[in-house]
Amino acid sequence: MTREELIKQLTGKSKEMRLNILDIAGKCENTHVPSASSCCDIVTALYFHFMNYDPKNPLDKNRDRFILSAGHKSMVQYAALNLLGVIPDEMIDTIEQYNSPLAGHPVYKKCPGVEASTGSLGHGLSIAAGMAQAAKMDGEDYKVYCIVGDGESNEGSIWEAAMSAAKYKLDNLVMILDRNRMSATYPISMPMTDYKAALESFGFACREINGNNMAEVVEALETLPYAEGKPNAIIANTIKGYGIPFAINNSKWHAAYWSPEKVAEAKKLIEEMEG
């Protein structure tokens, strides 16, 4: 497969992912579709090409690990695992119901394919760094990918984990910052204007991309690792609610009920996207 064919294939799969996110959202009372939409292209590229992950053997010792530190984006992970067959359709039908394996945030050991319970923001990168260090200590060569939100990066524990990752030379760790510039209700207000410079000062090797452009996503992921002995960071500039114009940067839709009518309206908009 040529690079152009790969980009086209993943772009089509990303559209399928967005439609599945909306189908899943339609089964919930309240969910975070815009946040899941911003990182959808990256998650698609990881699960459907770049990660060493066998859906028929999701507990393979040598699998790459995926940590969704910004756990409220769970719909994007559920959508991927559902399309891969790890989460069956009948389980999707129970989402957010009492005692369902599929909670509003990913739950380890309850939901198939989930590596860590997240959603209490700020902890996922520490977990990912620990997994990456364990791989080094055990002589394993798997990678650990961790998606962090830019609002989440207000948490000091993110930067403590970054410092630790650099100290232990975790070049098998890939931090992906989903920089959609929005928190729950307002634009990000902390004065962090250059995440790349900040992470490089901590000892990371970084790339900055348009995270909603599959060609740039592919280029960033296929060139990993960026430097021997340094943890990797991808600063992905994205749009919250990408593909659904009425939800873009609209706090009303941050956590919302998606009626059948709104699901249908959003799916029509996704179908009309190029690619």
CA dist., res. 118 & res. 228, Å (int)? 29
* pLDDT (0 to 100) of residue 187: 67
pLDDT at 203 over 70: yes
Calculate helix-pair angle for 214-222, 3-25, nearest 10 degrees: 110
What pLDDT is recorded for position 275?
Answer: 64
Q: What pLDDT does 190 receive?
A: 62
Whole-number percent of the chain with pLDDT over 90:
78
> What CATH number was assigned to the domain covering residues 3-271?
3.40.50.970
- DSSP labels, the chain: --HHHHHHHHHHHHHHHHHHHHHHHTT-SSB-HHHHHHTHHHHHHIIIIIS---TTSTT-TTPPEEEESSGGGHHHHHHHHHHTTSS-HHHHTTTTSTT-S--SS--TTTSTT--S---STT-HHHHHHHHHHHHHHHT----EEEEEETTGGGSHHHHHHHHHHHHTT-TTEEEEEEE-SB-SSSB--S----HHHHHHHHT-EEEEEETT-HHHHHHHHHT--SSTTS-EEEEEE--TTTT-GGGTT-GGGSSB---HHHHHHHHHHHHTS--
4-8, 91-95, 247-251: range with lowest mean pLDDT: 247-251
Over residues 22-36, the mean pLDDT reads: 89
Q: What is the pLDDT of residue 32?
A: 78
pLDDT at 251: 79
Residue with tokens 């940590």, as numbered in its chain:
67
pTM of the entire structure? 0.95
Q: Give the domain ranges of the chain.
A: 3-271
Predicted confidence (pLDDT) at residue 15 exceeds the cutoff of 80: yes
Q: How confident is the model at residue 248 (pLDDT cuts 50, 70, 90)?
A: confident
The answer on pLDDT for 179 being more than 80 is: yes
Least confident of 12-26, 216-230, 245-259: 245-259
User: What pLDDT score does 120 carry?
Assistant: 86
pLDDT band of 11, cuts 50, 70, 90: very high
Q: What pLDDT does residue 247 have?
A: 84
